[in-house]
Structure 1
Amino acid sequence: MLYTLHVKDLALIKEQEIEFHEGLNILTGETGAGKSIIIGSVNLALGGKADKEMIRTGAEYALVELTFFVDNKEIVQKIKSMDLPIDDEGTVVLSRKIMQGRSICKVGGESVNLKQLRELGELLINIHGQNDHQALLHKKKHLEILDSYSEKELNEYKKELANVWKYHEEIRKKLDETNLDEATRKREQDLASYELSEISQAELSEGEDEELEAKYRKMVNGRKIAEAASMANESIFAEDKENASDSISDAVSRLSSVSSYDEAIDDLTKQLLEIDTLLTEFGRSLSDYISDLEFDEEDFQEVEERLNLINHLKDKYGNSITDILEYASEKEKQLEILCNLEEERNRLTKELSKAREKALKLCENISEVRKKNASKLAKEMKKALLDLNFLDVKFEIQVRSFEDRITAEGFDEVEFMISTNPGESIRPLEEVASGGELSRIMLALKTVLADKDEIESLIFDEIDTGISGVTAWKVSEKLGNLSGHHQILCITHLPQIAAMADHHYLIKKGVSESRTITNIKELNSQDSVEELGRLLGAGEITDAVRENAREMKKKASEVKTL
């Protein structure tokens, strides 16, 4: 669940840390108080679009931090599989620092990219706003919802279908690539033969280029190397002047003459003798190296030409000899296909047919599961909608199959059908539902799917769009029921919904140091009554208004205990 929200220098918020709880967390406040900033800050922390204009005027950056506690073992395992930090107690901390032109995202103090932040957010919390209600008008969303309801039965089928259909599309692409006329086939065959011959004639070997480059480098810089080596040799072994070798030999002689008088001198003499021996061996090695530096112009020209050939092939076929040889291997396969094009097309056609037959069978299995669960979900949805004060609702889920429209998702089209008034025929959801009805339908779906949804925390924004009176009470009851399975954060302007709160927060705009700020605080029981009085629309909070608010809270409490 979402444990804390920490916001600093974001829009009208100077700095706030809010602690949320299990159950139903209700957020209320005057229009324009900044309720949208709270939802917006959560969205930002989960990887939503950031804008430098969000940074509070005068601040260098804005910061949003979310702390979650996760006790679902499957979600914990998914987080670990993403290689993201989660402590032994299940605590996950997400933060996002928004600066001019960029932002820094972190999980548990470790930097992550936006993609990782969004993927993690999808495991931890769902945010439902007006856009999500509108998504219900699209049939693609209906398919997603039905598949979510049927997930356990569909999971393996859909995984297998995704793999089969991916293979099908790869075969289809290869078949399309072999659809050549004779002139094109001959042209590509000639080109492949030429390229293969060019690579083959070079007789390349792995690592050859690195050896040649090292040899070439030595040859090009041979004069510099020879001069340096000769000077070093002269400094140590020159016969016509004092050198290092003679000096060390003289030192050995002098120490040897007195080494019998002191063990320490004897040890030093032995060390110097070892140096003298090493220097002699070094001299022989250096002399051999200088001799090997000699090469003729013909050797240099052969190395240079060979390197030029290899670099020419690299420019055409790959960045390394390994790449060139792999290219040659692919060309060899291509040439084999081009020489036997008709046989290859026949083979691919058979493979494509087999893959499609397998995909079709999986689509049929998936469709069967969907149709069975569509009936079950429709019955549960009808009951949930009646509970939300739809007078005489009919709800059906149509699953239509199209064998010529196979995709990685199957071949079904799913559409929610509804009638909300007695005597009206059932019609597609997009043709019937109003804004307030969409809000209730979304809530009904979340209630029905609650037992199947692993995500513990849900945020509802504008769930009360277009509703009032008895309907508002029904929505409030549903939210209360849903909060028995999930942590709910709900922004509302309706007293019926606010009365159901397990924890009530007030979002309020004020002035501090001559600047407008937004504050949020958790209300105690009495303050919650006062806020309910304001939501009831009373210009003045009288004792009668307070009593009405207390009655609403009492009624809500009785509903929650049922």
Structure 2
Amino acid sequence: MLTELSIKNFAIIDEISFTLNEGLSVLTGETGAGKSIIIDAIKLLAGGRGSVEFVRHDTKKAEIEGLFTIDSTNHSVYRTGEHYGIDIQDEMVVLHRVVTAGGKSICRVNGKLVTLAILREFGRLLIDIHSQHETQSLMDADNHINLLDMYDEKNITKAKNEYLKLYNKLFSLRKRYRQLSENEQEMSQRLDLLQFQYNELEQAELVPNEDIDLGEERLQLANFEQIYRSLQDAYNALYGEQKGLEWLNIASQALQNNKDFDNFIADKAEEMSNHYFMVEELMYDVRNYTETLHHDPQRLNEIESRLNEINRLKKKYGTTVEEMLEYMAKTEEEIEQITNKDSHLSNLHDEIEEIKKDAYLEAQQLHDLRQRAADSMTEEIHKELKGLYLENASFFVSFNTKQGYQSADIHLHQNGYDYVDFLISTNAGEPLKELNKVVSGGELSRIMLALKTIFAKHQGITSVIFDEVDTGVSGRVAQAIAEKINLISEKSQVLCITHLPQVAAMSDTHILINKQEKNNRTYTDIRELSADRKIEELSRMLTGTKLTDTAKRHAEELLELASAHKEK
């Protein structure tokens, strides 16, 4: 869950820092006090799009930092951290985001600098933000299949991965088939190019590692005089009268002559003798190698010419001789395929049909899993909608699917062969229609909340944030929404901005946001309310700024009802 949140120089916020608890935390306050600004800051922390408009006037940068505690070591954030080399210790993840006045964005996870995309990956696993605007994603039918897959994520993801292996192979084979099926003129031009490239490489008679071996030989020939001189100097320093080997022999004999009188001399005499023979052998090796050397300017010219030819080819076919030989082999294979195009097309067609059958069977299994998930999800959604006073609502998951492999029109895509659309009717006797054609703002909020109540059971999100998703509802519906949000808070930490006293009364933690002026600057102040102050704030939400005894009694009753509901 989100345990600590710190915001500095963000919009009208100067600097605030506060602790969040488990369960349901609500943020209330007058319109414009800065409630939504706090949610905007959390969105940035989760990898949202930044803007210089967020940086407080006359400051250099806006900073947001959040501490998340992760109880389960099976949480996917651990795998993501391991993937990006980010150490997660003591079950804590710290996200940090800076937006400068110049428009730069700096992101860190547990102190390590990361890209915005990586920060967004962590944010997606830790925070789930819902606002009135974001519920519009429910209207997009393209998102419905992903929501359905999320419902039974464990089984559907496994089946989907198996399907994708076949689908990607099928896609690759179809692409190759199209390439071979191009018109004769294009294929003829392609064949001419390939044959020219193959002949050029073949005539070069390349040998593996040839460029490396020639480079070493060129280095030796170019520095022949220095190499020869160094070997001669080494040999002359060892061989001859009054030279190194003779002095080693003298030292060895001196120790050998007296080894019977002293154990130390005896040991060192043997060592000296061994060293003498090693140096003698080394001297002979230097002499023999020197005799093999000969300066050949013509050979150096040949090497330079050969390396120039290899480097010319490298610019066209690869950075190494191995890569060029590989390219040559692929070119030969493609030439053979084009030359025998009809035979290859026939083989490809048979392979495509075989893979297509297998992919279709996997897609069919995926469809069956989705159908079972749809039936179960529909049943759950109906229960949730009734609890939100949409008793006459009817929800249905529509599959736009062409059944039967023999159908020539069947179309496999990345999600199998399913196209999913959520249909709903909110009134008795009305036909099922697309969400965007029948749902009002208040109804959409309730449908979204019903889905979120269900998905909270299936997701590992640590913190769910609702930004005024209860707008446009009142009375018994408001109470039902409060109860649903409280239900979600049993599975995940919930942070909710609300104007409904029913939702606020259900909170485990009530945070009040105030806007103040000081030295001609506007500041946002945040404080956690005590029990007495919570009653005052609920009274204000019920009646406005004027607090009356009646309003206080109503506030107390709301709190009692909320407490009774939680106990039940």
Structure 1 position 530 matched with structure 2 position 560? no
Question: Partner of 2:6 in structure 1?
Answer: 6
Using the TM superposition, name which of 379-388 and 207-216 deviates more.
Answer: 207-216
1:62 maps to amino acid: E
Instruction: Sort the Cα spacing of 1:271 and 1:11 in 2 relative to 1 into closer, same or farther, 3 A.
Output: farther
For residues 528-558 of structure 1, what are the alpha-carbon distances to aligned partners after superposition, in whole Å with 9 as ceiling and x for unaligned? 1222222224231233322222221112212
2:398 maps to amino acid: Q
Instruction: Sort the Cα spacing of 1:526 and 1:273 in 2 relative to 1 into closer, same or farther, 3 A.
Output: same
Counterparts of 1:399-418 in structure 2, within 5 Å, are 399-402=399-402, 404-418=410-424
Counterparts of 1:374-389 in structure 2, within 5 Å, are 374-389=374-389
Question: Partner of 2:527 in structure 1?
Answer: 521
Instruction: Sort the Cα spacing of 1:320 and 1:101 in 2 relative to 1 into closer, same or farther, 3 A.
Output: farther
SS in 2 for 1:401: coil
Counterparts of 1:126-165 in structure 2, within 5 Å, are 126-165=128-167
SS in 1 for 2:21: coil
Query: What is the CA-CA distance between 1:80 and the residue it aligns to?
Result: 5.4
Query: What is the CA-CA distance between 1:315 and the residue it aligns to?
Result: 1.1
Instruction: Sort the Cα spacing of 1:534 and 1:286 in 2 relative to 1 into closer, same or farther, 3 A.
Output: farther
SS in 2 for 1:73: coil
1:123 maps to amino acid: L
1:345 maps to amino acid: L
Question: Partner of 1:167 in structure 2?
Answer: 169
Structure 1 position 482 matched with structure 2 position 488? yes
SS in 1 for 2:400: strand
1:177 maps to amino acid: Q
Question: Partner of 2:307 in structure 1?
Answer: 307
Structure 1 position 432 matched with structure 2 position 448? no
Q: 2-side partners of 1:300 and 1:118: how far apart?
A: 58
2:20 maps to amino acid: F
Q: 2-side partners of 1:210 and 1:20: how far apart?
A: 63
Deviating above 6 A after TM superposition, structure 1's stretches of 4 or more consecutive aligned residues are 223-234, 243-249, 270-293
Query: What is the CA-CA distance between 1:71 and the residue it aligns to?
Result: 1.9
Q: 1-side partners of 2:375 and 2:246: how far apart?
A: 103
TM-score norm. by structure 2 comes to 0.85
Q: 1:114 aligns with which of 99, 113, 116?
A: 116
Instruction: Sort the Cα spacing of 1:17 and 1:273 in 2 relative to 1 into closer, same or farther, 3 A.
Output: farther
Q: 1-side partners of 2:304 and 2:122: how far apart?
A: 55
Instruction: Sort the Cα spacing of 1:298 and 1:423 in 2 relative to 1 into closer, same or farther, 3 A.
Output: same
Q: 2:218 aligns with which of 192, 216, 219?
A: 216
Q: 1-side partners of 2:521 and 2:248: how far apart?
A: 84
Q: 2-side partners of 1:51 and 1:301: how far apart?
A: 63
User: RMSD across aligned C-alpha pairs, in angstroms?
Assistant: 3.7
Q: 2-side partners of 1:32 and 1:272: how far apart?
A: 93
For residues 453-486 of structure 1, what are the alpha-carbon distances to aligned partners after superposition, in whole Å with 9 as ceiling and x for unaligned? 2223211112112212222111111111221222
Query: What is the CA-CA distance between 1:245 and the residue it aligns to?
Result: 12
Counterparts of 1:450-465 in structure 2, within 5 Å, are 450-465=456-471
Instruction: Sort the Cα spacing of 1:9 and 1:170 in 2 relative to 1 into closer, same or farther, 3 A.
Output: same
Query: What is the CA-CA distance between 1:233 and the residue it aligns to?
Result: 10
Q: 1-side partners of 2:33 and 2:225: how far apart?
A: 80
Question: Partner of 1:59 in structure 2?
Answer: 60
Question: Partner of 1:199 in structure 2?
Answer: 201
Query: What is the CA-CA distance between 1:53 and the residue it aligns to?
Result: 3.6
Question: Partner of 1:123 in structure 2?
Answer: 125
Please tell me whether the aligned partners of residues 464 and 495 of structure 2 are also in contact (alpha carbons under 8 angstroms).
Answer: yes
Q: 1-side partners of 2:94 and 2:546: how far apart?
A: 43
Query: What is the CA-CA distance between 1:373 and the residue it aligns to?
Result: 2.9
Q: 2-side partners of 1:116 and 1:191: how far apart?
A: 43
Structure 1 position 349 matched with structure 2 position 349? yes
2:116 maps to amino acid: L
Query: What is the CA-CA distance between 1:224 and the residue it aligns to?
Result: 7.5
1:104 maps to amino acid: I
- The gaps in structure 1 that reach 5 residues or longer are 250-269
Query: What is the CA-CA distance between 1:432 and the residue it aligns to?
Result: 0.7
Q: 1:506 aligns with which of 512, 515, 535?
A: 512
Question: Partner of 1:97 in structure 2?
Answer: 98
1:75 maps to amino acid: S
Using the TM superposition, name which of 135-144 and 114-123 deviates more.
Answer: 114-123
Query: What is the CA-CA distance between 1:318 and the residue it aligns to?
Result: 0.4
Identity rate, percent: 35
Please tell me whether the aligned partners of residues 10 and 62 of structure 1 are also in contact (alpha carbons under 8 angstroms).
Answer: yes
For residues 436-468 of structure 1, what are the alpha-carbon distances to aligned partners after superposition, in whole Å with 9 as ceiling and x for unaligned? 211111001111223222223211112112212
Aligned residues: 559
Instruction: Sort the Cα spacing of 1:227 and 1:520 in 2 relative to 1 into closer, same or farther, 3 A.
Output: farther
Query: What is the CA-CA distance between 1:181 and the residue it aligns to?
Result: 3.9
- The gaps in structure 2 that reach 5 residues or longer are 250-269, 403-408
SS in 1 for 2:174: helix
Q: 2-side partners of 1:274 and 1:50: how far apart?
A: 75
